[in-house]
């Protein structure tokens, strides 16, 4: 059976660990050549080496760095077929205690970063008259969460951004969709501790935390020809948490 993404070129931000690492790995398994992008070069180099891709150090919130990175990926691979905007951070705090820096850092990485990378890849995708843009949002962008007003705003903004981009680019053969993970077993959730993890599981219909591969499988689907008639959608992958 042919691999779903044979000969496609994918760019994944935040690819050095967690969901981004899982996404990069699954894309490669399905035949894609993967550009692994992240702030810490050592992390993305390790992933790229493991999957036969290439590594690029970039701060997704800095326009000049994003433009240079996309230009480098196109030089190295010849094109970009799939963009996965995964890079994300949290700086949680109650609204009354949240600093302007905490707000700006989270919105800069999670939302502005997606804008910058999407804008940078779009010209090439328009010329190709094909492309897949996949944004990793969160169920928090759908439900909100106390102590995460910055994170929720960034992820809700990403949903609106996805739908707008989908409408703008559909006539050029480009789709834009979002994946909204629930609680996924990553370094971020591991820091919550075993007791909190058990509490979370009780809220999830399927009774377990998700894995990076659960999210990566959704990304593979949206990046493939199987999803050629899907655009402007938010695919919630949360084990039934938000229903």
Give the 3-state secondary structure of residue 237. Answer: strand
Instruction: List the structure tokens of 169.
Output: 């680019």
User: Using CA atoms, how far apart are residues 100 and 88, in angstroms rounded to an integer?
Assistant: 18
Give the 3-state secondary structure of residue 191. Answer: coil
Annotated active-site residue in 151, 152, 159, 239: 151
Does 151 qualify as catalytic in the annotation? yes
Task: Give the C-alpha distances (Å, rounded to integers) separating 239 from 18, 91, 109, 164, 180.
Answer: 18, 25, 26, 27, 11
CB 106 within 8 A of CB 89: yes
Residue 183 DSSP symbol: S
Catalytic residues: 151
């Amino acid at each position: 059976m042919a691999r779903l993404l044979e000969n496609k070129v994918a760019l994944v931000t935040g690819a050095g660990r967690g969901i981004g690492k899982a996404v990069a790995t699954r894309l490669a398994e399905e035949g894609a050549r993967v550009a692994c992008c992240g702030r810490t070069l050592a992390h993305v180099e390790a992933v790229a080496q493991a999957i036969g891709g290439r590594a690029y150090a970039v701060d997704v919130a800095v326009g000049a760095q994003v433009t240079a990175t996309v230009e480098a990926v196109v030089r190295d691979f010849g094109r970009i077929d799939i963009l996965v905007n995964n890079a994300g951070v949290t700086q949680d705090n109650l609204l009354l205690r949240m600093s302007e820096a905490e707000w700006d850092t989270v919105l800069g990485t999670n939302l502005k970063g997606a804008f910058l990378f999407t804008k940078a890849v779009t010209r090439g995708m328009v010329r190709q008259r094909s492309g897949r843009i996949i944004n990793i949002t969160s169920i928090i962008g759908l439900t909100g969460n106390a102590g995460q007003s910055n994170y929720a705003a960034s992820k809700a903004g990403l949903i609106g951004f996805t739908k707008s981009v989908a409408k703008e680019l559909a006539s050029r053969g480009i789709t834009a969709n979002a994946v909204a993970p629930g609680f996924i077993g990553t370094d971020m959730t591991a820091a919550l501790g075993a007791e909190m993890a058990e509490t979370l599981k009780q809220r999830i219909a399927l009774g377990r935390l998700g894995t990076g591969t659960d999210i990566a499988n959704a990304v593979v689907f949206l990046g493939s020809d199987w999803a050629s008639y899907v655009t402007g959608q938010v695919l919630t992958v949360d084990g039934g948490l938000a229903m």
